[in-house]
């Protein structure tokens, strides 16, 4: 509408989504995420980093409906060397595959709305010459949100965690050995409290993978390793320090889970936040 067409004598238009006194009529909550882990081809690190953060991050995701947060993370060679297991890794196969991780939050209740747009948008971008051929996906999968766990009684909510400025991120996949309820109870009572205690690991968000479907199978590129199993859980840990400095906590976490007989860690990988607008870490990937 042209502002010149507005009549100041007319009653104000109704806003069905916001109350002028209380704000939004519903809380914004994350319901699903895109987890996309990629390697640039050697020799194309700087070009890839600049293309992704200056174009694709926005044009391929953030401008889409119901996507309300995103962040980028990087695994240097030193961080890749910490990943485990080195054989049979459910995300990184081989274990050192995947250098740049981008994560996006999609509002609860709008998974299909956003990703239908995204599937169409990426095809349009490639047709317009706005793709990047010199890259390889390691693990690009959609996930549905399950639950959150926190270190502190008044934490930074997961819904705003991507914007909080955490220094590091750790991606962990847990595969239960039997009924998932047993491993869930262990996580609540023993597994996560010990991992959090008196340390820099502040929060954990848990997710389940969305199986490949017609939408994701029609992507104009190979998406890498398949979605984790239907009973497996992806855990994203937000860390206030370089995750390498507290990596023993995650090694211990995996060992305690295995010793419990309730499950095992099938992938664990640490990342640092990228420094937006710079080429930092592009010469540290290999």
Lowest mean pLDDT: which of 215-224, 252-261, 263-272? 215-224
**Which residue has better confidence, 245 or 131?**
245
Please check whether residue 103 lies inside any domain of the structure.
Answer: yes
Residue 213: predicted pLDDT: 78
Whether residue 12 is predicted with pLDDT greater than 60 in this model: the reply is no
Q: With bands split at pLDDT 50, 70 and 90, how would you rate the model's confidence at 216?
A: low
Please check whether residue 7 lies inside any domain of the structure.
Answer: no
Mean pLDDT of the chain: 90
Please check whether residue 35 lies inside any domain of the structure.
Answer: yes
Residue 1: predicted pLDDT: 38
Lowest mean pLDDT: which of 13-22, 96-105, 161-170, 261-270? 13-22
Please check whether residue 2 lies inside any domain of the structure.
Answer: no
How many distinct structural domains can be found in the chain? 1
DSSP states of 198-223 as a string? Answer: TSSEEEEEEEEEPPP-HHHHT-SS--
- pLDDT above 70 coverage of the chain, percent: 87
Please check whether residue 281 lies inside any domain of the structure.
Answer: no
What CATH number does residue 261 fall under?
Answer: 3.30.70
Q: Which domain holds residue 108?
A: 29-273
CA dihedral 38, 39, 44, 49 (to 10 degrees): 40
**Which residue has better confidence, 10 or 81?**
81
Q: Which of 110, 142, 141, 125 is nearest to 220 (CA)?
A: 125
Structure tokens at 86: 């080195």
Q: Half-sphere exposure of 174 toward its Cβ, with a 13 Å CA cutoff?
A: 33
Whether residue 16 is predicted with pLDDT greater than 50 in this model: the reply is no
Whether residue 76 is predicted with pLDDT greater than 80 in this model: the reply is yes
Three-state SS at 142: strand
**How far apart, in whole angstroms, are the C-alpha atoms of residue 258 and residue 252?**
10
Please check whether residue 279 lies inside any domain of the structure.
Answer: no
Residue 140: predicted pLDDT: 95
Any bridge partners for residue 166, and if so which?
none
Residue 27: predicted pLDDT: 85
Please check whether residue 14 lies inside any domain of the structure.
Answer: no
Residue 2: predicted pLDDT: 43
Average pLDDT over residues 9-32: 58
Lowest mean pLDDT: which of 55-59, 163-167, 183-187, 195-199? 183-187
Three-state SS at 244: helix
Q: Which of 199, 193, 197, 203 is nearest to 148 (CA)?
A: 203
Whether residue 112 is predicted with pLDDT greater than 70 in this model: the reply is yes
Please check whether residue 24 lies inside any domain of the structure.
Answer: no
* pTM of this structure: 0.89
From residue 221, alpha-carbon distances to 131, 194, 273, 284 in Å are 10, 40, 25, 26
């Amino acid at each position: 509408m042209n502002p010149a067409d507005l009549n100041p004598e007319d009653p104000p238009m109704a806003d069905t989504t916001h109350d002028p006194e209380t704000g939004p009529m519903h809380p914004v909550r994350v319901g699903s995420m895109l987890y996309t882990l990629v390697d640039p081809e050697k020799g194309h690190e700087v070009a890839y980093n600049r293309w992704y953060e200056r174009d694709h991050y926005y044009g391929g995701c953030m401008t889409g409906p119901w996507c309300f947060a995103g962040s980028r993370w990087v695994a240097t060679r030193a961080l890749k060397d910490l990943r485990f297991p080195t054989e049979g890794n459910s995300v990184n196969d081989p274990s050192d595959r995947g250098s740049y991780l981008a994560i996006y939050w999609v509002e609860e209740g709008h998974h299909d709305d956003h990703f239908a747009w995204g599937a169409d948008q990426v095809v349009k971008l490639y047709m317009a010459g706005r793709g990047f051929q010199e890259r390889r996906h390691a693990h690009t999968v959609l996930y549905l949100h399950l639950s959150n766990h926190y270190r502190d009684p008044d934490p930074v909510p997961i819904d705003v965690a991507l914007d909080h400025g955490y220094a590091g991120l750790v991606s962990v996949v847990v595969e239960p050995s039997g009924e998932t309820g047993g491993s869930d109870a262990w996580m609540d009572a023993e597994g996560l409290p010990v991992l959090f205690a008196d340390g820099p690991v502040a929060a954990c968000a848990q997710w389940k993978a969305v199986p490949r479907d017609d939408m994701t199978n029609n992507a104009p590129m190979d998406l890498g390793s398949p979605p984790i199993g239907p009973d497996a859980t992806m855990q994203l840990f937000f860390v206030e320090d370089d995750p390498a400095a507290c990596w023993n906590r995650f090694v211990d976490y995996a060992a305690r889970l295995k010793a419990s007989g309730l499950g095992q860690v099938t992938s664990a990988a640490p990342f640092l936040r990228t420094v937006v607008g710079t080429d930092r870490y592009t010469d540290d990937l290999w």
